[in-house]
Structures are given as C-alpha cells and as structure tokens.
C-alpha cells in the first residue's frame, strides 16, 4: 500500500464557494487505481497541490474485485475522499475478445468501492467512467443527456454497460443517502503511464509503439486497423487530472459530466501526427477488414467549460511529451507481448 502520511487530522467536508463540498489538502484521499494511466495523473496533480495524505494500493495488495478485501481496506484507511479510477480497460480488440471479464471485473470493482465508501463514511467520491457509455450513433457532439437514448457500440458494449451501472450507483447513493458523490465521463485518454501493448492497448499508445518499432527496424509500412476515417477526441491525462480536481471542488450534481477537449481528428490524421513526431516517414496501410468502431465520438464539453475549466495540452504537444516518456521508460513501460526497446 502506498501512503503519504499527514500530520493533521482529516477535515470534514463542508460547502465550498462554488456550491460543492470543499476539497482541502489536509483530507485523506484514496485514489483507487493510482498506478494506472488516469489514477497516476490524479495522484501527481494532488501531490503538486500539496495534498499530504494520499492513499493507494496495487492490485496485488488489494484485489478490488474481492468484496471482503475492499471493505477491509476502506475500513482500515478511512479516507475522506475517494476517486474511483480503478478499472479493467483495453482497446477495441481486448473489449471485443473478453466481454465477460470487462463486464464482471468492472462491475465488482466499482460496486465494492462505492458500497465501502458509503458504509465507512467517505464524504466525497468521484467515479470515473468512459465516453463509450453513449449510443454508437449519438448526435455529435455528444451531450450528457444522450445517455441511454440508443444502442451502444457492440465491440465495447459490455464495458460500457458496467460504466453505466457505475453512474446509476452514484445517482442511487445520492438519492438514498444524500451523499455528494459525482461521476465524470472522459474522452479517449493518453499520456505517461499508458499501456503500450501491441494488441491490447488503445489507439494512441499502440500507434506510438508501432511507429517507434518501424523506425528502429527500417520498416516502410505500418498497418492500421480500419479505414482511418473514424473521428476521435483525445485528452492528455494531466488535463484529465486537472479537470477531476476542479470538479471535486466545483461540481455537485447527480448528472454525469463530460470531460474532453471538444476537438476531434480522424484516425488517419492522428497516425500522421504520431508518425511525424516519431520520425517515421513510411506508408500507412489501412486494414478495412477490421472494425472501425463508432464513426465519431466527440463530447459536448460546454457544461464543464461553463464552470470555468478548459484543457491546456494540445494534441501535438501531448503526443510529443508522451513519446518522450515512452522512449525514456522502455525498461519499465507496460507491455504484454515482448520488447519494444530495440537497439537504436
């Protein structure tokens, strides 16, 4: 278990100037999933803001799918605030290949954590969902009100259903117990700490790895799943972390809220940007026998912007910083299928 000790006693949650419960650096904050892409960014953001009592546990230390273990952990640590960033995640292939695990694992993780939070007096909680909760053919950009208005994208519907259940649990706890728990739905995330596995990762880290290896091996062609025409929005995890801290300080509503940039690009445009950053100038080949997924997925972020938050990391800058982190951490990055650090 990772803990940053605090010399002060936990403060109670009172109303801040913006109408939501106040978040203060002397509170104990449990970041569930603190080693993951989103959770590690939230941990960094809170540390940089002077939060002196952060708590985290690896999956080896606490299996959040185990109800008893989760209850014991929350009971023993007694956090004031909980951020639910722990989840089983993966790209389109992983979601489509292992729907049972994506549904079961995520349902158990979030139910256990939120039940424990309610039972052991966690005063403030933020549940982190995913933009895949919205219908496949939702009107663009997608407003929060689009939830449950149409059919989901079938390649990740099991994961989406689990995340929708998490939103419902947040709303149910608010209704029954009056607790100021909230949920936020981010767009596609990327940045330091991502999973760079060649087959089970999301599109951004997968392409970074493929172009990196193509440059090192001298390959003149890289194959990309699908047609390259779907449009996607990408949010750097440091911007996500900034937004989540902002929401914990300024938002208190049962309705979920979108977190994104409000700007999207085609997969082809993304690939061209990454190839340019990596320094690979070969040919892109698109395998149209593979699924494209949702044609477009752009979030309407007007509610969040209306509260006063906006992103600060451009896509180009974010790709550059992520690639620098990738090349600087080849010995420790998360992969499941072999080496990426070929001799340069």
Q: In the predicted model, is pLDDT for residue 7 greater than 50?
A: no
CATH number at residue 100: 3.40.50.720
Confidence of residue 199 (pLDDT cuts 50, 70, 90): low
Q: In the predicted model, is pLDDT for residue 19 greater than 50?
A: no
Query: Is 191 annotated in some ligand binding site?
Result: no
Question: Looking at the domain assignment, is residue 317 inside a domain?
Answer: no
Residue 139: CB atoms within 10 A of its CB come to: 13
Question: Looking at the domain assignment, is residue 194 inside a domain?
Answer: no
Containing H/E element for 335? none
Q: Which of 30, 98, 134, 159 is catalytic?
A: 159
Predicted local confidence at residue 343, as pLDDT: 28
Question: Looking at the domain assignment, is residue 300 inside a domain?
Answer: no
Global confidence as pTM: 0.89
Query: Is 35 annotated in some ligand binding site?
Result: yes
Question: Looking at the domain assignment, is residue 41 inside a domain?
Answer: yes
Question: Looking at the domain assignment, is residue 208 inside a domain?
Answer: no
Question: Looking at the domain assignment, is residue 296 inside a domain?
Answer: no
Confidence of residue 226 (pLDDT cuts 50, 70, 90): very high
Question: Looking at the domain assignment, is residue 280 inside a domain?
Answer: no
Domain count across the chain: 1
Percent of the chain with pLDDT over 70: 90
> What does the pLDDT look like over 26-72, one tens digit per residue?
999 999 999 999 999 999 999 999 999 999 999 999 999 999 999 99
Exposure string for 296-323, b = 16+ CB within 10 A, e = fewer: bbbbbbebbeebebebebebeebbbbbb
Tell me, yes or no, if 251 is annotated catalytic: no
Q: In the predicted model, is pLDDT for residue 129 greater than 80?
A: yes
Query: Is the sign of the CA dihedral 72, 77, 82, 85 positive or negative?
Result: negative
Q: Give residue 150's domain range.
A: 2-189+234-259
- Ramachandran region of residue 66, left (φ > 0), alpha (ψ -120 to 50) or beta? beta
Query: Is 189 annotated in some ligand binding site?
Result: yes
Question: Looking at the domain assignment, is residue 220 inside a domain?
Answer: no
Rounded distance between C-alpha atoms, residue 51 and residue 315, angstroms: 29
Predicted local confidence at residue 43, as pLDDT: 98
Q: In the predicted model, is pLDDT for residue 328 greater than 90?
A: yes
């Amino acid at each position: 278990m990772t803990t940053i000790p605090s010399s002060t006693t936990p403060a109670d949650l009172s109303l801040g100037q913006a109408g939501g419960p106040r978040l203060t650096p002397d509170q104990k904050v449990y970041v569930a999933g603190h080693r993951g892409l989103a959770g590690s960014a939230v941990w960094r953001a809170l540390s940089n803001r002077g939060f002196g009592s952060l708590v985290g546990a690896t999956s080896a230390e606490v299996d959040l799918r185990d109800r008893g273990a989760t209850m014991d952990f929350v009971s023993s640590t007694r956090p004031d605030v909980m951020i639910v960033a722990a989840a089983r995640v993966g790209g389109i292939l992983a979601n489509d290949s292992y729907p049972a695990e994506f549904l079961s694992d995520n349902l158990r993780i979030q139910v256990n954590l939120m039940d424990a939070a309610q039972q052991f007096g966690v005063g403030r909680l933020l549940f982190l969902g995913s933009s895949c909760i919205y219908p496949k053919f939702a009107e663009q950009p997608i407003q929060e009100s689009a939830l449950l208005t149409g059919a989901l994208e079938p390649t990740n519907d099991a994961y989406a259903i689990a995340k929708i259940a998490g939103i419902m649990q947040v709303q149910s706890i608010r209704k029954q117990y009056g607790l100021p728990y909230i949920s936020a739905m981010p767009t596609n995330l990327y940045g330091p700490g991502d999973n760079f596995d060649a087959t089970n990762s999301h599109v951004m880290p997968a392409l970074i790895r493929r172009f990196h290896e193509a440059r090192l091996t001298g390959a003149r062609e890289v194959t990309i799943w699908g047609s390259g025409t779907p449009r996607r929005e990408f949010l750097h995890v440091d911007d996500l972390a900034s937004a989540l801290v902002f929401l914990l300080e300024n938002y208190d509503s049962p309705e979920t809220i979108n977190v994104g940039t409000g700007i999207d690009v085609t997969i082809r445009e993304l690939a061209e940007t990454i190839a340019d950053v990596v320094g690979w100038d070969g040919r892109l080949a698109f395998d149209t026998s593979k699924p494209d997924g949702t044609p477009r997925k752009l979030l309407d972020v007007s509610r969040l912007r209306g509260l006063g938050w906006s992103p600060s990391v451009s896509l180009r800058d974010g790709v550059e910083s992520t690639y620098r982190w990738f090349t600087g951490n080849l010995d420790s990055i998360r992969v499941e299928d072999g080496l990426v650090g070929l001799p340069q």
